Chains A and B, each alone.
Chain A
Amino acid sequence: MPVVKTKPSNKTRSRRARVKDQQSAGDDFPHAYVVRGEQPTHVLVPVEEYEELIKADMARAAIAKLEDPSTEWIDFDDAKLQLAADRISAARKAAGLTQAQLGKKLGLPQSQISRIERNPDRTTVRTLKRIARALKVDVRALLP
């Protein structure tokens, strides 16, 4: 193994990096690769091949997840509600308002704003429209 005595700067290393294509590498190594010094450091693969590698990796991780008894499962319908709730609180925060301030604008107690943010499916369209007006956003921005 050659011993590297001095560490070249990033700029120098970048200049030294070169790409060898498959022709120069020969048929036994069918991808282009990046070489720094004498060592290949990266392999350039076609996107389709890269995606297949990612999918295989994901499949392995997915099986491990399925077989892990500590995995927690969230019901998708509950998740959708939570995402809708996140939208309302994100819009309120973007407007720079606290729950109490938004409640004051709407003539509602802070506790009701909190309830709406936690459980927006029990909120009427009329209230959502009022919230959207108070936050100066399109009501569609508050709906999933």
Chain B
Amino acid sequence: MGVKVELADEAWDNLRYRLTLAERDSFVSRLEEVRQAPIRNSEVSRDPEQSQYMLRFFRFGPGGRWIGVFEFDIAGNRIRVLQCRLLRPSRRTRRDRAGPA
């Protein structure tokens, strides 16, 4: 599939300097899946600004703790990853350690 994929500078910095090796691997493999089928392998974003862009999300990392947002340009056959962000805490809470109630 000929979808071109690009990363914004900030997303790249996050990927390279903040993520663990396991999280990086997960990012790369998930993004490859998204590249194969951008719509099927991602979730839609509600665009608060009603912009012209088609923004979508994909989760990655152990337990889907990280989330990446990308713009899919169907006409240009291009994906642009704009941001990666930790969505859930990486440490287990005291309650988690105690196990399910």
- Indicate if B2 sits at the interface (CB-CB under 8 A): no
Task: Give the contacts of B14-63 with A (CB-CB under 8 A).
Answer: 15-16, 21, 24-25, 28, 31, 35, 45-49, 51, 53, 55, 57
Q: How many residues of B contact A (CB 8 A)?
A: 36
Chain A residues near B21: list those with CB within 8 A.
87
Give a binary string over A72-89; 1 marks a CB under 8 Å from any B CB, 0 the rest.
Answer: 111111011011001100
**Whole-angstrom CA separation of A72 from B64 in the bound complex:** 27
B7, A74: Cβ atoms closer than 8 Å: yes
Q: A-side binding surface: helix, strand, loop or mixed?
A: helix
B8, A54: Cβ atoms closer than 8 Å: no
Known: A62-B55, A63-B55, A71-B9. A83 touches B28 (CB 8 A): yes
- B residues with a Cβ closer than 8 A to A are 4-10, 12, 15-16, 21, 24-25, 28, 31, 35, 45-49, 51, 53, 55, 57, 67, 69-71, 80-83, 85, 87-88
